[in-house]
Structure 1
Amino acid sequence: MQHLVFVYGTLRRGESNHHFLSEAQFLGLHETPAEYTLYDLGDYPAVGRGHQSIFGEVYLINQEILQALDELEDVPVEYRRELLETPFGQAWFYIYQDEEKLNTVISSGNWDLRL
């Protein structure tokens, strides 16, 4: 089974966990509606509800990659998966669950511009 996934942090090209997508097909860049906020948790980002657009990449993946991503993101404990409309179709993306840890906003909405 094929899925789409929207990634906004360490799974993006050039980032530490991009190897999880080495067998995936890159479809393009996407910017979400201004309904979220991107946070810096140190080694990785988190998305929560808010009023900001998030920048990321969309990939076509198979069921095995989706399962590996769910394990990486500790679904359903640390993150949960939700569907997001993209120009390529509906894509899964990961929302952080522990809102008390969401303190440091990345104002650009772009993990690559966090520094």
Structure 2
Amino acid sequence: MHRVFVYGTLRAGELNASRLASARHRGAARTEPAFTLVDAGRYPAALDYGQTAIAGDLYDVDAATFADLDTLEGYPIFYTRRRITTSAGDAWIYLWAATRNRGWPVIESGDWPGYRRSRDQQGALS
């Protein structure tokens, strides 16, 4: 088993959550305030520097699901992964490895679903 920290489209209610249907949800967690979370459009990207604590969830996944996540995340070209400490224990996180688009807005809250809902509502009102 591999413990994975997810913070974007793999979270409940998000675009790719179904990929974790067979995984065991271990609960909500936050990273240490050592990252930057940016809006890359349809998904977020966590950068391996900064002062933001990212909100997410921990899952225990089997080897096949872990390999599927590597494919989804474009590992190791677009995302890399490394072990981090969260508020609920150690886990793997996927971090943006490709060149960052400087136009991507920073998500100060560190919470992708909350940010995305607010962004989408603003767009619908425009």
* TM-score band, normalised by shorter chain: over 0.9
Structure-1 residue corresponding to 2:7: 8
Deviation string 1:53-94 (CA, Å, 9 cap, x unpaired) is: 100000011000000000000000000011012355321110
Structure-2 residue corresponding to 1:60: 60
Per-residue deviation at 1:101?
1.6
Which stretch of the first structure deviates more once superposed, 89-98 or 31-40?
89-98
Q: Which has the larger radius of gyration?
A: 2
Per-residue deviation at 1:97?
1.2
- Conserved in 1, the CA contact under 8 Å of 2:31 and 2:87? no
Deviation string 1:86-110 (CA, Å, 9 cap, x unpaired) is: 3553211100012432531011100
Structure-1 residue corresponding to 2:95: 95
CA RMSD of aligned residues (A): 1.2
- Write the letter of the residue equivalent to 1:57: D
- Conserved in 2, the CA contact under 8 Å of 1:4 and 1:89? no
The runs of at least 4 consecutive aligned structure 1 residues that moved more than 6 Å come to: none
How does the TM-score come out when normalised to structure 1?
0.93
The count of aligned residue pairs is 114
Structure-1 residue corresponding to 2:72: 72
Measured in 2, the distance between the counterparts of 1:101 and 1:53 equals: 21
